[in-house]
C-alpha cells in the first residue's frame, strides 16, 4: 500500500510537471510559468527523498523541507502578486511574504536548528498560502466581466487545489511530532506521511487540469 500511494504521489507531480511543459506558452500568458520549474524541483526532491529514504541514506528530511517551505511561499506569492485581479492587495502579499521570510531567517539563526522541523513555521506557511488563495477567490468571484472571469478560470482550479491542500496538510504536519510519538497509523501507514501524499495527488491533479484549461480557454 505504501509503495502504491508513493507511486501515485510521485506520478501526479510528474504528470503535472509534464503538463506544465506542454502548455508552457499558455502558462506565460497567465503569469504562472513559474510553476513549471517549481514542479520539476518538487518532483526531483520528492523522488530523491523517497529513494534515499528507502535505502536508509536519509534518516530525517527536516533540512530539505525547511528549505522547501519558504520556496513554496515565494512561488505562490509571486503568482498571486502578478495576477491583475489581485492588484489592490499586491502590497499586502509582498509584505506578508517578506515578514514570513524574515521570521524564517531569525528562527533558524537564533531559535531552532534548521535540521529540526519547526511546527510554528509550518503552520505559518500553510496559513499564509491559504490566505493568498482565499483572497484570490474573493477577488475572482467579484469579477464583473465574463471574459475576464473566463480567462482566469484556470487559476480557480489551481487555487481550489491549494485551498484544500494546505489547511489539511498543515494541520497534519503541525501535529507531526505528536502523531509520530504516538505511532498513529492508517492501514499501517503513518498518518502524517500519507495525508500529505493523498492531498498532493488531489492538488497536482487540479494543477494539471488548470494547465490544460490555459490552452482551451483563450
Rounded CA separation 76/125 (Å): 11
Highest mean pLDDT among 137-151, 171-185, 188-202: 137-151
| pLDDT for the residue 190 | 66
pLDDT tens digits, 21-62? 999 999 999 999 999 999 999 999 999 998 887 776 665 788
Cell readout for 54 is 528507502
* H helices present in the chain, as ranges: 2-22, 24-29, 35-55, 62-82, 90-106, 119-140, 146-151, 153-174, 176-181, 191-216
Q: What is the pTM of this model?
A: 0.91
Handedness of CA 185, 186, 188, 192 (dihedral sign): negative
pLDDT band, very low/low/confident/very high, at 170 (cuts 50, 70, 90): confident
Q: Write down the mean pLDDT value for the chain.
A: 89
pLDDT exceeds 70 at position 94:
yes
Q: Which domain holds residue 178?
A: 2-216
| pLDDT for the residue 182 | 46
Residue predicted with more confidence, 214 or 3: 214
How many domains does the chain contain in total?
Answer: 1
| pLDDT for the residue 188 | 58
Of the candidate ranges 98-107, 132-141, 174-183, the one whose mean pLDDT is the lowest: 174-183
| pLDDT for the residue 205 | 97
The closest alpha carbon to 161, from 132, 190, 186, belongs to: 132
pLDDT exceeds 90 at position 177:
no
Rounded CA separation 172/119 (Å): 10
Residues 6+ apart with CB under 8 A from 105: none
Amino acid at each position: 500500500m505504501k509503495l502504491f500511494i508513493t507511486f501515485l504521489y510521485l506520478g501526479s507531480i510528474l504528470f503535472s510537471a509534464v503538463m506544465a511543459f506542454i502548455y508552457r506558452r499558455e502558462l506565460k500568458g497567465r503569469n504562472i510559468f513559474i510553476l513549471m520549474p517549481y514542479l520539476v524541483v518538487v518532483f526531483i526532491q520528492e523522488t530523491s527523498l523517497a529513494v534515499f529514504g528507502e535505502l536508509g541514506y536519509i534518516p530525517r528530511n527536516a533540512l530539505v523541507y525547511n528549505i522547501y517551505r519558504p520556496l513554496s511561499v515565494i512561488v505562490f506569492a509571486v503568482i498571486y502578486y502578478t495576477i491583475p485581479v489581485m492588484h489592490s492587495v499586491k502590497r499586502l502579499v509582498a509584505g506578508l511574504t517578506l515578514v514570513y521570510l524574515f521570521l524564517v531567517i531569525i528562527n533558524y539563526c537564533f531559535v531552532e536548528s534548521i535540521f529540526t522541523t519547526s511546527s510554528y513555521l509550518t503552520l505559518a506557511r500553510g496559513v499564509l498560502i491559504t490566505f493568498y488563495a482565499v483572497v484570490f477567490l474573493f477577488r475572482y468571484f467579484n469579477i464583473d466581466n465574463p471574459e475576464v472571469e473566463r480567462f482566469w478560470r484556470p487559476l480557480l482550479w489551481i487555487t481550489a487545489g491549494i485551498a484544500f491542500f494546505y489547511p489539511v496538510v498543515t494541520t497534519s504536519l503541525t501535529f507531526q511530532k505528536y502523531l509520530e510519538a504516538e505511532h498513529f497509523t492508517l492501514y499501517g501507514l503513518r498518518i502524517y506521511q500519507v495525508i500529505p501524499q493523498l492531498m498532493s495527488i488531489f492538488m497536482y491533479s487540479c494543477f494539471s487540469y488548470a494547465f490544460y484549461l490555459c490552452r482551451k480557454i483563450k
